[in-house]
Amino acid sequence: MINKKVEKALNNQVIIEAASSQAYLAMASWAECNGLNGIAMFLYEHSDEERQHMLKLVKFINERGGKAIIPQLNQPTNTFKGVRDIFTSLLSHEINVTKEIHEVVDVCLKEKDYTTHNFMQWFVSEQIEEEALARNIMDKIELIGNDKGGLYLFDRDLEKLSSVTNNDSV
């Protein structure tokens, strides 16, 4: 039977992953409405990934004899000043998620739940990748500055990046 404190921490992480999925969905929709189809595709895909992270947690909690709580969805931010605003907020969101993942790992260690600790290592690695990707995108945005041509190419690059893994286009 899963430790109650660990179950609580995991259910809190379910909320965070669901909120991430919603936040990126809103960003994707904004990008689509603003003619940035590549960025939209990338963010739609990212939103789907966050939902998969949530599902991974839900299934694990239930498999371990706990009870996953499916959270209410809050309305995320729907208006953005531009592409820089979106990716700045995405990066700071991911940095926060990393902190939260580490909190869960901390609870696992305190409660000596080595099984969940092992399970959480996937999320620890995933966060390293997500933060690196977001930082890489921010570097590109800094390079582009206010160059419209640069933004056009950046949008196309993100489209290519998304279509590699996104077969059933959104």
Binding site for ligand OFO (CB under 6 A): 17, 20, 50, 53, 94, 97, 126, 130
What is the closest distance, in whole angstroms, from the C-beta atom of residue 133 to ligand OFO in the complex? Answer: 10
What is the closest distance, in whole angstroms, from the C-beta atom of residue 77 to ligand OFO in the complex? Answer: 15
**Contact call for residues 3 and 56 (beta carbons, < 8 A):** no
Closest to ligand OFO by CB, 3 or 13: 13
From CA 52, how far away is CA 35, in angstroms rounded? 27
Residue 154: how many CB atoms within 10 A of its CB? 20
3-state secondary structure of 129: helix
What is the closest distance, in whole angstroms, from the C-beta atom of residue 1 to ligand OFO in the complex? Answer: 26
Closest to ligand OFO by CB, 135 or 150: 135
What is the closest distance, in whole angstroms, from the C-beta atom of residue 92 to ligand OFO in the complex? Answer: 11
By the 10 Å C-beta count (0-12 exposed, 13-18 middle, 19+ buried), 63 is classed as exposed
Closest to ligand OFO by CB, 24 or 151: 24
Closest to ligand OFO by CB, 3 or 47: 47
H or E element that contains 43 = helix 37-63
By the 10 Å C-beta count (0-12 exposed, 13-18 middle, 19+ buried), 143 is classed as exposed
Task: Map tokens 């700045």 to a residue.
Answer: 88
Closest to ligand OFO by CB, 6 or 18: 18
What is the closest distance, in whole angstroms, from the C-beta atom of residue 86 to ligand OFO in the complex? Answer: 14
Cα dihedral across residues 98, 86, 52, 3: positive or negative: positive
